[in-house]
Chain A
Amino acid sequence: MVEALAYERVRRPVWALAIGRTGMHRIMDHDEADYSALIVQIAERRDRNAFATLFRHFAPRIKGFALKSAPDPAMADELVQDTMLAVWRAAQTYDPARASATTWIFTICRNKRIDLFRRRNRPEADPPEEGDWVMQPTQENSAEISAAFRRTRALMNELPSEQADVLRMSFLEDKPHRAIAAETGLPLGTVKSRIRLALATLRQGLEQ
């Protein structure tokens, strides 16, 4: 699906950039760099075609994400709209050296879900100061971001399934640990310790 998308929808500059930067195998594997480039195109040129390509890829996933917290298709469609409009609006703030496209869209979707489902704003940290944590976007940084994404995915796949399951639930479902405990029938302490162990393994693994 992703390959077809790259051939049919992505316009020449992105395509060329993606090959030049990461090589063919990356496109076949997971074209995070392509999606990043599309967000940059929206930021630089208000490119509606780039938006359409992003939408076709992410909208059904965002909808699936929404349906995990509330089985209401109409509300899920609203979350898709809210998230993708925020992607359009905030594209200028997207920094490919800080987050992959999918991770960035996850954070927007997560925040919009909190806004929409709980009808309140999510408390956010202040924007970083100059020279704090903003790296200059370079090819090396973008490659690091893609590598971190693959590394995180590999580490998640190596987790014992009992830990991986509750970790995924905590990110997928807009539920506190107590609700996860109720849903799985596990004691609250067990849910907490499994998530804690999983996070610790990931954090350690990502520092290596």
Chain B
Amino acid sequence: MSGQHHPSLEIIGDYAAGGLPEPVALAFAVHMSSCSACRMAVQKLEVIGGVVLDELPPAAMDTEAELDRALSSLDEAKPAESPSEPSDLPHALLRRVPGDLAKLPWRRVARGVAEFALDTYEAGYRAKLLRIQSGASVPRHTHRGEEYTVVIAGAFYDSDVVYNKGDFAEADPTVRHQPIATDDGVCYCLAVTNAPLKLLGPIGRLIDPLLRRRAEH
């Protein structure tokens, strides 16, 4: 049930610190939504931030004037938002896509594989949802940078390792792989990259320069 494959400690720490690039933070938030161990790990590391805040020397400010300003806004302060309509998707994702993934305008990229690009707010990063039909495989590829993948629904396997809902995979230029959806149904993933992928295999090598050119524009 809860994810067996977790992000590296570096990602967990960077999320706690607040410096993790937004698309990677999105992938990690999706993972954490089904992984209490990583939520606990973040909680423990956030104490570092508490200590850092506590040991900061107080900055010069007109505290009483700013306090009056805050006090006069208290009554306007709205209560925290209540969660939106129920959905199987993690909240972090629901802020970005409608609740029903099947209705997205998917773009076919290979047999049984379609993608939907998400807006990213971080220069150099791309985030896309992948829909892999049961038994279909993503074209064999390696990476020019880092790739972070989290399973939203269904499962895929990569070599002999199975990634289920919530599982998090990290890959870099040393990894060549060809993830394949299991036979249990459609697999939805979020994949985040900070450099274009490099397709392998005879057809991949042929079309890779075209894809790369498109990715760069």
Contact = CB atoms under 8 A, between A and B. Distances in A.
Contacts of B103: none
A139 B26 CA distance: 35
Given A63-B59, A123-B26, A196 B92 contact: no
Interface string A94-109: 0000111011111101
Contact of A120 (B78, B79, B121): B121
Contacts of B45: 199, 202-203
Contact of B83 (A56, A127, A199, A203): A127
- Chain B interface size range: 35 or more
B74 A51 contact: yes
A63 B61 contact: yes
A21 interface: no
Interface string A142-165: 000000110011001000000000
Given A60-B63, A106-B50, A153-B51, A89 B79 contact: yes
A59 B33 contact: no
A52 interface: yes
A100 B50 contact: yes
Contacts of A118: 22, 121
B33 A192 contact: no
B4 interface: no
A171 B18 contact: yes
B74 A88 contact: yes
A206 B46 CA distance: 12
Interface residues of A, number: 75
Contacts of A99: 43, 46-47, 50
Interface string B118-134: 00010000000000000
Contacts of A123: 22, 25-26, 28-30, 92, 95
B70 A124 contact: no
Contacts of B78: 89
Contacts of B100: none
A81 B19 CA distance: 22
A61 B22 CA distance: 25
Contacts of A77: 61, 66
A188 interface: no
Contacts of B80: 89-90, 92-93
A16 interface: no
Interface string B29-72: 11011001001111111111111111111111101001101110
Contacts of A61: 53-54, 56, 58-59
